[in-house]
Amino acid sequence: MTHELATGLVFLVYMVGVFGLAIMSNRLLQKKSFLAEYFLGSRGLGVWALAFTFAATSASGGSFTGYPSLVYTYGWIVALWIGSYMIVPVVTMGLMGKRLNQVARRAGALTIPDVIRERFASPGLGLFASAVIVFFTLTNLIAQFKAGGIILDVLLEGTPGYRDQIVPWVEQTGILSPLLAIAGANTGYVIGLLLFAFTVIVYTSYGGFRAVVWTDVMQGIVMGIGVLILIPFTMAAVGGLNKATKDLAERPPRLVVGLAAQDNAIEYYGKTPSDVIIHHTALPPAVALDIEGPPLTVEVLEDEQDRVQITINLAAELGTIQATARDVVEAVNASPEASRWVSASIPKLERYPDLSGNGLAPLMEAPNHLRPGRDLVFGPGLKQKGNGAGDPFHPIGMAISFFFMWAISGAGQPGTMVRLMAFRDSKTLRYAMFTVTIYFGCIYLPIIFLFTAAQQIIHPAELTAGSDQIMPQLASRVAPWWLAGILIAAPFAAVMSTVDSFLLLISSAVVRDIYQRSINPDLSEKSVKIISYSTTAISGVLVTLMALNPPRFLQDFIVMTGGGFAATFLAPVFLGIYWKRMTRVGAWLSMAAGFVTTVVLFSPVLLAAPLAALNISWRSEEINLFGLHPLIWGLIASFGLGILGSLASPKPPRSLINRYFAKPDLAGLDEPPPHQV
């Protein structure tokens, strides 16, 4: 059986499983209190459900695409980058789990804004929290839907009849013409997006929280087993990890020239940055008119000092050409001389900024740099793309930041915290915490071994769709068809398990926090049901439409979602459940300071596109003050102002403190919650 057919089969089985779980979940939904079951599984999650929904929600699509790609590109230093995962389960689940669960029960809270609103007796705070959640989640969902559409399009590529019958039929009948016009993309992507959206919207809307959790369990187990089984096949292919690491370390240096746009630099063989020199020249108009095909040609020669001179002749005026990276690669590869020096192609069709002038490299921000084999077994590594190409990949400031990023920031994600409100009892939490510790150890450590070794099996030039494809490529190369099928489908399952949680997060914020608690509290059970189902579905449809052609400014917000969430929510929730003196004023200041600090430090990223449209030159990377990630500054601002604001304002009323901090018999649990101001 071919890998493509196996993938199709795995996908089919997966779909049947997902819809089956949604139907079972909906049956359960009919027997319980609707809102608590639909958004929180009636606080009844057991060990396996809690462990795997937690793991699968944390392990987004990036765990099976971006993370393996980083290991493959940067080698062993990524072990330090991901190192905090050794303690992530204990921190993210244990730091607040038991206490947050208790406070949520006492508050009768179903969502994080609910907890904040009740603990600080402030509807305004609850609404602000909901607004932040809706905004960040929506922008992130658009990116995740886009990724889902692309992955599904690639997955279906090899399915018999898809490319040669279904896609042409769709194009001929024109049934998707309006969507294709919006998307400005190929038919395959639109079909993939619609199929992905239909699946995830239907099972999330219909089954609610419990369907999401059950599918997470299924996905988590399958993905974990897939990675573990891949280990022996890969190690057999490379002759063991010891040999793979040794070969990697001794690999001859390659010179990376900042020629390509963003994702993949062309690699040249060379020993020093001056070994390969790039010139750009404009061809005379008469000659340029005669050129067919790509608007450039390449000449290569070795000069008397043994340097390689590569001249790129542009069939247009300097500064005006818009050649694609592929044009450059094709032209370079067409030259027999150049092929001696070019070791990789550029997989992505990125345009590179206007070329102008002559020089060592066309992009001053992406200088030539050497990448010796030792860079892949030691730190700090070198950034391979973007404006910072050639800078250290993981300097000490970032190494510290990523211990905050994964562990501390992970504890402050609303999607994570809401799961801590859903478990049955503290025994469940203890067992689930240990299960996740084992699970992460079995996933994240082996991925380092697998993909540093993958360097010996797959050359970057073979990854024609980018290094994000390294996991399915490796699986196709070394594993039997059934395992390859599972691992090729893994990124799809991972994206889905993240998307479904986000979809419910938006829906709960709108239905529970905004509509029911602020606009119309006297809803009947029937109306609550209709509004919940339809809000989840409508949110999904809206996101699908936006994912057809995502607005640029929304995409820019995605980079700060994780940091923004943690900086906004961690301090008020953590201080709110552990510190009696935390006041409403402190909570307001804490949330606002965390949110504003993150936005300000990410503003260069957010402003880059609008300013570029005005022809204003602008840095496009976030501000890492003292070399530390904006998240850390966001947390400092949020905790600092939260504490100062609380100390400077009057103490919270005794009734409020008793409700959440006193023994049950003194907490006034038989009375209505303290008056909301």
Partner 1 sequence: MAEPDDDPVYRDSKREALIILLAWAACMVWSVSYCYLNGYTRHDRVPGEVSALLPTLDQRDRTLESLTTPFGLGIPDWALWGIVVPWIVCVFFSAWFCFVYMTDDPEPQDRGEDEHLVNPAVED
Site for partner 1 in 428-487 (CB under 8 A): 430-431, 433-434, 437-438, 441, 445, 448-449
Should residue 615 be labelled a site residue for partner 1 when binding is judged by CB under 8 A? no
Q: Which of 102, 159, 262, 655 binds partner 1 (CB under 8 A)?
A: 102
Q: List binders of partner 1 among 346-405 (CB under 8 A).
A: 372-375, 377-380, 392, 395-397, 399-400, 403
Distance (Å) of CA 536 to CA 214, 314, 499, 504, 541 = 18, 52, 12, 7, 9
Q: How many residues bind partner 1 (CB under 8 A)?
A: 93
Should residue 626 be labelled a site residue for partner 1 when binding is judged by CB under 8 A? yes
Should residue 627 be labelled a site residue for partner 1 when binding is judged by CB under 8 A? yes
Should residue 98 be labelled a site residue for partner 1 when binding is judged by CB under 8 A? yes
- Residue 463, classed as helix, strand or coil, is coil
Should residue 318 be labelled a site residue for partner 1 when binding is judged by CB under 8 A? no
- Comparing C-alpha atoms, which of 20, 38, 40 is closest to residue 29? 38
Q: Which of 8, 61, 89, 576 binds partner 1 (CB under 8 A)?
A: 89
Q: Which of 87, 237, 538, 644 binds partner 1 (CB under 8 A)?
A: 87
Should residue 38 be labelled a site residue for partner 1 when binding is judged by CB under 8 A? no
Nearer to partner 1, 102 or 333 (CB): 102
Q: For residue 438, is it left (φ>0), alpha (ψ between -120 and 50) or beta?
A: alpha
Cβ–Cβ under 8 Å, residues 88 and 407: yes
- Comparing C-alpha atoms, which of 29, 414, 367, 419 is closest to residue 213? 419
Q: Which of 69, 84, 205, 343 binds partner 1 (CB under 8 A)?
A: 84
Tell me the C-alpha distance between 282 and 81, whole Å. Answer: 44
Cβ–Cβ under 8 Å, residues 283 and 315: yes
At its nearest, how many Å lie between partner 1 and the CB of residue 626?
A: 6
At its nearest, how many Å lie between partner 1 and the CB of residue 481?
A: 28
- Comparing C-alpha atoms, which of 501, 499, 482, 502 is closest to residue 11? 482
Should residue 190 be labelled a site residue for partner 1 when binding is judged by CB under 8 A? no
Should residue 76 be labelled a site residue for partner 1 when binding is judged by CB under 8 A? yes
At its nearest, how many Å lie between partner 1 and the CB of residue 560?
A: 21
Should residue 189 be labelled a site residue for partner 1 when binding is judged by CB under 8 A? no
Tell me the C-alpha distance between 260 and 257, whole Å. Answer: 8
Cβ–Cβ under 8 Å, residues 321 and 362: no
Cβ–Cβ under 8 Å, residues 491 and 471: yes
Give residue for tokens 């690669």: 329
Q: Which of 49, 77, 127, 342 binds partner 1 (CB under 8 A)?
A: 77
Nearer to partner 1, 306 or 525 (CB): 525
At its nearest, how many Å lie between partner 1 and the CB of residue 474?
A: 17
Tell me the C-alpha distance between 48 and 152, whole Å. Answer: 28
Nearer to partner 1, 98 or 351 (CB): 98
Nearer to partner 1, 241 or 360 (CB): 241
Should residue 669 be labelled a site residue for partner 1 when binding is judged by CB under 8 A? yes
Distance (Å) of CA 510 to CA 101, 121, 157, 414 = 22, 19, 37, 14
Nearer to partner 1, 160 or 441 (CB): 441
Should residue 661 be labelled a site residue for partner 1 when binding is judged by CB under 8 A? yes
Q: List binders of partner 1 among 518-557 (CB under 8 A).
A: 521-526, 528
Give residue for tokens 């993240």: 498
Should residue 233 be labelled a site residue for partner 1 when binding is judged by CB under 8 A? no
Tell me the C-alpha distance between 374 and 249, whole Å. Answer: 5
